[in-house]
Chains A and B, each alone.
Chain A
Amino acid sequence: MKQPGAWRAVERDISRRTFLKAGGGVAAAAGLLSACGGGTAGPGSPNASAVQIASPTNPVRWPIHDDVPMIASGLKPEAGSTLKIYNYADYLSPRVIKNFERDYSVNVELATFNDTEEAIGKIASGGLGYDIYFPSYDQIGKLVAAKLVQPLNQDYLANISSVWPQFTDPWYDLGWQYSVPYTTYTTGVGWRTDQVNTDVASLPNPYDALWDPSVADKIAIIDDWHVAMAMVLLREGNYDINSESSEDIALIRTRLLELAAATDPKVTITMYNDLPAGQLGLCQMWSGDVVNAVYYLPKGQRPDILRYWFPEDGRGMVDNDLMMILAGGQNPVAAHYFLNYLLDEQVSLANFGFTGYQPPQNVINPTRLVEDGYLPENLRTATVLPEWFDSGTRLLGMPIEVEQQWLNVWQEFKAGA
């Protein structure tokens, strides 16, 4: 474990002077640091990662910055404007977009990213003018601290009343000042019965299947360092998936290298296509993707070959994605209208039909998704229950030096050593 020491040294070396020299967006960060620490607690101290870490036990109300104001109430969408949306690919229904364009006379331009780390890097570089971003909840702190997002004017967002109450004052954003919920999902294991003879769900530890070459030939895990590495800890029965312990991180490393040696998994986020196409037999998977996979099955292929496992007690990764409005966008009013549009019951159901990701809408009865025709019987396990947000594990932000240790392991794994 030599890397962390080296990286701490890097952080120690960042002096305020360097910040001021670099200026610009970085200066904003420096300003924030000095604001938080009264100018004395510079980044020299090891806990200088000025961003608070929100968690269910530490709910956070993010600061509102004077220089990033919210928009006034009662405005109309910017006429003839082009609303720029930044999202994962295939994670927003084209028809929903078309309808919004028609109803509000606004053009919508969709840009896509592969992972949210990359996305934040691009947003922070400035000048791209994206209006709406779809992050996971662990990124809010950074986005607020760097003044990349703007506070929401809730007057525009009346449809918030239709979502699960727990998301109207969530621990990751008390008072939903910056975010509204988009979708919910679990992270489990998906497979095809025509390629996998074992009933993965009935294994003593279903995660083991990913490590077992006798179960399936073509295996993949999710290309997101935290999601993939947290799964390794869950397999070990360790529910502290944001662990700061070097032993845990070392264990993840060992297990990941074992995984690579045993089953040579692909690392991708396109399971919703690769599993139905037969390029994968078994994979770590988001529940929304396995639902979506049904629509990507080749013609003539029966949908009942798809299976999904998630711990029945809900003790696995249960997450939700958000919609936020970026400070650098040109169309904040239209962006508010778009958020409200997607919170609408019917619209979000239509979107569910395209993405396979379950919106946290009161109108959906989660125990009856199969009966109500949202899910096929064989994918009943892909349901997301509201109470799982209490039992499940959440992916949280980490202190920067810890995160760096995780990232180094991930990089080693991805280098294919």
Chain B
Amino acid sequence: MSAMTTNRVRRFAGFRRAPVLTTVTAVYLLWSLVPVLIAVAFSFNDGRSRTQWQGFSLRWYVGDPLRSVLHDDALQTALLHTFRLGLIVTLITVPLGTLLALGLDRWRGRLPAGANFLVLLSFVLPEVLLAVSLLFVATTLTSTFVTPVRLGTVGQVIGLVTFQLSYPVIIVRARLLTIGRHYEEAAVDLGASPLTAIRRVLLPMTAPAIIASAVLVFADVIDNFVLVRYLSGGASTEPVSVKIYNTARAAPTPALNAVATLVLVASLLAVTLGYLAWRRFTRDEASAGGLGAFTGEA
């Protein structure tokens, strides 16, 4: 059968084989993406309506002298803060998580089992619990004890690192499992010190996982809402997601859609770049951890 399939038949092969499943998938894709695309489209609306199309314009990005993203300081602050958090948190979380993954992968005993439990706990804990508990730390302990958790960027970074730490741990560990220990042992046999072996063999080989987790953390942080809202210290530390929440039910202009669109573009850009880098590192391999890594099901 497959030998005689024409291109045309091939194209609809999925549909032929499973019409119901294909339809469900297609409908799902429409349902999940079209609303967002409409929201993006309305960021280009010429009027201030978010429901009536009034023609194309860049008014809400650059044109409007008061409320466009370019001229509304509040929106710009939010956008900048969003990316600032993304960057700082990624830079802290990924090294911290990678080290933890290496340690947990090789260290045997009860203590590492406990640490592993903590990682999994932080992965599945409902975010609001962590957010409220850190909010309590920031609001009740600051005056009494010395704690770094303060409302504002510092508190947000601490909360986000805590919440995101499990991603690099899980992804890098999954990669370490696929690599196995042979390469490292070979390096040691050839005379490398354990640290050199880690630096020269293990880290390069886990690079795809490190990149994947960096992308994942960055994209997740710039979308975060619960933690950053509770731990924000006022307007200058409210990222875009909080701005959306504060104004979505009030009377936002399409400038809100515009700023959300910019975050969306940044997210997709980061993912694309990350994917390309990941491909570069893994092009010689058949499988490099796969999607399973993204789910924590290492």
Interface residues of A in 224-279 (CB under 8 A from B): 268, 270, 272-274
A94 with B67, Cβ < 8 A, contacts A23-B143, A270-B251 known:
yes
CB < 8 Å: which of B66, B74, B140, B142 contacts A127? B142
Judged by a CB distance under 8 angstroms, whether A89 is at the interface is: yes
Residues of B within 8 A of A89 (CB): 246-247, 250
A22 with B236, Cβ < 8 A, contacts A125-B138, A270-B251 known:
no
CB < 8 Å: which of A110, A268, A270 contacts B235? A110
**Considering the chains assembled together, what is the distance between the CA atoms of A298 and B54 in angstroms?**
12
User: B234 to A22, Cβ gap below 8 A?
Assistant: no
Question: Quick one: which of B47, B235, B246 has the most chain A CB within 10 A?
Answer: B235
Looking at chain A's contact residues, the main secondary structure is mixed
Residue interface mask B133-145, A partner, CB < 8 A = 1 = 0000011101110
Residues of A within 8 A of B140 (CB): 125
Judged by a CB distance under 8 angstroms, whether B77 is at the interface is: yes
Judged by a CB distance under 8 angstroms, whether A102 is at the interface is: no
Judged by a CB distance under 8 angstroms, whether B52 is at the interface is: yes
User: A86 to B250, Cβ gap below 8 A?
Assistant: no
User: A125 to B151, Cβ gap below 8 A?
Assistant: yes
Residues of B within 8 A of A376 (CB): none
Judged by a CB distance under 8 angstroms, whether A31 is at the interface is: no
Q: How far, in Å, is A254 (CB) from chain B's closest CB?
A: 30
Residue interface mask B58-88, A partner, CB < 8 A = 1 = 0000000011000011100100000000000
Interface residues of A in 1-39 (CB under 8 A from B): 22-27
User: B247 to A23, Cβ gap below 8 A?
Assistant: no
Residues of A within 8 A of B52 (CB): 298-299
Residues of B within 8 A of A274 (CB): 249
Chain B contributes a number of interface residues (CB within 8 A of A) equal to: 28
User: A26 to B143, Cβ gap below 8 A?
Assistant: yes
Q: How far, in Å, is A194 (CB) from chain B's closest CB?
A: 18
User: A109 to B250, Cβ gap below 8 A?
Assistant: no
Q: How far, in Å, is B150 (CB) from chain A's closest CB?
A: 6
A84 with B235, Cβ < 8 A, contacts A89-B247, A90-B251, A298-B49 known:
yes
Judged by a CB distance under 8 angstroms, whether A95 is at the interface is: yes
Judged by a CB distance under 8 angstroms, whether A416 is at the interface is: no
Residue interface mask A148-189, B partner, CB < 8 A = 1 = 000000000000000000000000000000000000000000
Closest 5 interchain pairs by CB? Answer: A24-B143, A111-B235, A125-B139, A273-B251, A111-B234
Query: What are 29 A-B interface contacts by the 8 Å CB criterion?
Result: A23-B144, A27-B143, A82-B236, A86-B234, A89-B247, A89-B250, A94-B72, A95-B66, A109-B73, A109-B234, A109-B235, A110-B74, A111-B234, A111-B238, A112-B235, A112-B246, A122-B151, A126-B143, A127-B150, A127-B151, A128-B151, A128-B152, A270-B249, A273-B250, A274-B249, A298-B52, A299-B47, A299-B49, A299-B52
Contacts A26-B143, A296-B251 supplied; 14 other A-B pairs, CB < 8 Å = A27-B143, A84-B235, A89-B246, A94-B67, A95-B66, A109-B73, A109-B74, A109-B77, A122-B139, A122-B151, A127-B152, A128-B151, A128-B234, A274-B249
What is B's interface to A at a CB cutoff of 8 Å? 47, 49, 52, 66-67, 72-74, 77, 138-140, 142-144, 150-152, 233-236, 238, 246-247, 249-251
What is A's interface to B at a CB cutoff of 8 Å? 22-27, 82, 84, 86, 89-90, 94-95, 98, 107, 109-112, 121-122, 125-130, 268, 270, 272-274, 296, 298-299
